[in-house]
A = this chain, B = another copy of it.
């Protein structure tokens, strides 16, 4: 069993390679070729924290991956990162644990950001040049950087609940802090990255043709986009069961405004792209799926030469 520390993991990251592996993973997942474990969760009250365990295997692969990721939200007040964890790479033929990628949550951050890029590429209109980011945390930064690199975005608009933080964040990234309704009106693609538990984007803010990648709502109780907006939109889900359970889709689904059969699958669209009409509202609901962890860990592990 090889233990790979964070610096070696970061050095092995090839973003293009991981993007391709993630797209392949979403396609295989949508095609039903991935076995997925029930998600394990432990919640902690004091100090507040979460632990999620996800695991999956692409049928026929030589290895499978189980990920443990923790978030303890008060860690930064003690000078610690809030994220921690590892990805275990396990032989699918002997069950031997080949590697522990001690990524401290960084590969989860990366695969989440790159899924945003994949979804944005899929739903953005040709020539999209104005990008709006909602939130000012780690994921907002990663999404902004990745989408800017891969979509050739020129203008960056920022909104965050804390307007001072939004200004600082915008300045750092060479963007502009604006009110949320202005961001929604002007941006060609919007990415939402907050841990909000109440809708931030309401129906009055959303004009026909708006394109949103919703990343924040990844657990029960979280919500960034009003159910009425979801009801007006074509929804593209990373996982239909997860999105109707706890994604931004879930509120609209439970209210009967969205039917499961109306939801498109990200991986199916990657396999067989369809065009969207210019005035369609399209929302990619990304809750985070185990196949992303599998694909990112496999890619890193292959880069490391599979020596152990």
Contact = CB atoms under 8 A, between A and B. Distances in A.
A83 B94 CA distance: 9
B70 A90 contact: yes
B55 A84 contact: no
Interface stretch (A41-49, A136-144, A168-176): A41-49
A249 to B, nearest CB: 22
A92 B57 CA distance: 28
Copies in the complex: 2
A205 interface: no
A253 interface: no
A234 to B, nearest CB: 32
Contact of A86 (B37, B80, B88): B88
A100 B83 CA distance: 18
A51 B95 contact: yes
A57 B49 CA distance: 13
Given A37-B41, A42-B37, A68-B66, A95 B90 contact: no
A93 interface: yes
13 contacts: A37-B42, A38-B38, A38-B41, A40-B40, A40-B53, A40-B55, A49-B92, A51-B64, A72-B93, A72-B95, A80-B96, A85-B95, A86-B97
Given A1-B102, A42-B56, A96 B84 contact: yes
Interface in A1-20: 1, 3
A97 B72 contact: no
B44 A57 contact: yes
A299 interface: no
Given A42-B64, A100-B100, A84 B88 contact: no
Interface in A67-81: 68, 70-72, 75, 78, 80
Nearest to A85: B97
A297 to B, nearest CB: 14
Interface string A131-171: 00000000000000000000000000000000000000000
